[in-house]
Amino acid sequence: MNRLKSNIRIKLFPRLFLLAAVLLLNGVWLSVSAQSYEEARSLALSGERAKARQLCKAILAQGFNSDVALLLGRTYAWDGMYDSTRVILNQVLERNAGNMEARDTFANVEYWSGNYDKAVEYCDLALKKNPGNEDFMLKKARIQHSSEKYEEAVRTLEELVAKNGSNAEALKKLQEFRLDVMKNRIRLNYTIDQFDKSFNRDPWQVIALSYGRKTKLGSVIARVNMAKRFGNTGLQYEIDAYPKISENNYGYLNYGFSQSSVFPENRIGAEWYHNFPKSFEGSVGIRTLFFSSSDVTIYTATFGKYISNYWISLRSFVTPGSDGTSVSGFLLMRRYFSDPENYIGLRLGYGVSPDENQNLVNPDASSRLKLKTRSVRLEFNHIINRVWIINAAAVWGSEELNSGNYSGYYTFDISITRLF
């Protein structure tokens, strides 16, 4: 009996030793793996994503780890290599279909790629697994809003608020997104230009009343302008359209006509806008003004970028003519606050803009557009009770009357808009 027990101990001892060794090695490997993961994560967050990927691949070569794989996938996504990210995320979901982090990263990747419908699908899949997940509901609403499905975004947020009325972020976004469901706006604008005595001009005044509506094809705005200049009063009728061409492209079309001497007889405008990656936007366009004695064609282009809460853009106007080509330029800077309707702006200008009605005065508009003019414009825009928008602006400018001799003018502009 003792001999039997001794034989059992002898046989079990190597196995127990081997098991202990395996457990010890596994423990060491897990410890090393955890340290390596933290190192890879630190590299990724510090911008050294190529090194982070090398370390992640080395860890995964020893055995699959979903956290490491997700980190690897995210580094691909952060560098815009979305196909590689999708391969990694599919590997994670094959092993664990309920991995919420993988669903979240998949939704981000499709959103960043502009595949909004696919991004919403991943949010919905996550919400089927966890219907009360507020993060995914917020993400879904943001994606719907980015794809201009405003009513769907509002419904998603209303559902979230019904579940948790204390979610401050959901309440804030719901207020913002409801604005976009309001497809109509009426705007009343008043502008007055005061001139130095050397101009020998009475103040110019313009009152504009417009109605705008958002449609599936883009926004349309109808406007009536009434101006008083040189002792004459006249009306101009305009229509603007901003047709959506594709996901990253939209247009601007304008037509106006007047039978009054204080406006061009006809004006036509067209422009194409394109949204580039990394929040850049550019455009090229044309304006043609038809006066009783001459026509003027102006070419324009813009280039701008969103930087955090700031929008910075540069617009140029080029006006060819028999007596030479004139060039105007405007640098615009805006600082946005709680939403797109709350901002302050500064514009520095050289030359004259044909997009401002006070510059289009028949019969001297064609010569006025070529004046050497310098201007500074300050602007304030604020929304009240989510339905009223107040805009106020002041401009100081100077025009060259003759070589080296400048005279000043001042413009004050105020408008009120009602959304509904």
Q: What DSSP assignment string belongs to 157-192?
A: HHHHHHH-TT-HHHHHHHHHHHHHH--EEEEEEEEE
Residue type, 77: A
Helix, strand, coil percent values for the chain (each to nearest 5): 40, 40, 20
- Decide: 106 and 139 in contact? Cβ < 8 Å: no
Q: Where are the beta strands (DSSP E) in 247-279?
A: 249-257, 266-276
Encode pLDDT of 28-62 as tens digits.
Answer: 444 555 667 888 888 888 888 898 898 889 888 88
Lowest model confidence (mean pLDDT) among 16-20, 183-187, 260-264, 338-342:
16-20
134-146 and 100-112 helices, crossing angle to 10°: 10
Q: Is 73 left (phi over 0), alpha (psi -120 to 50) or beta?
A: alpha
Distance CA 311, CA 332 (A): 8
134-146 and 168-181 helices, crossing angle to 10°: 20
Average per-residue pLDDT for the chain: 85
Does residue 277 surpass a pLDDT of 60? Answer: yes
Structure tokens at 300: 């324009």
Structure tokens at 5: 């027990």
Residue 410: C-alpha distances to residues 177, 315, 371, 399, 403 (Å): 37, 22, 16, 11, 21
Residue where the block lists tokens 């996504």: 77
Q: Is 149 left (phi over 0), alpha (psi -120 to 50) or beta?
A: beta
Does residue 371 surpass a pLDDT of 70? Answer: no
Nearest to 105 by CA among 90, 94, 117: 90
What pLDDT does 181 receive? 87
Q: Is the peptide bond before 354 cis (omega within 30 degrees of 0)?
A: no
Distance CA 123, CA 108 (A): 10
Encode pLDDT of 253-269 as tens digits.
Answer: 999 999 998 888 999 99
Distance CA 119, CA 116 (A): 5
In degrees and rounded to multiples of 5, residue 124 shows phi and psi of -65, -40
Distance CA 100, CA 148 (A): 26
Encode pLDDT of 314-349 as tens digits.
Answer: 999 999 887 778 899 999 999 988 667 889 999 999
pTM: 0.66
Encode pLDDT of 57-94 as tens digits.
Answer: 988 888 888 898 899 999 999 998 999 999 999 999 99
Encode pLDDT of 126-173 as tens digits.
Answer: 999 888 899 999 999 999 998 889 889 999 998 998 888 778 888 888
SS3 state of residue 351 = coil
pLDDT-derived band at 196, boundaries 50, 70, 90: confident
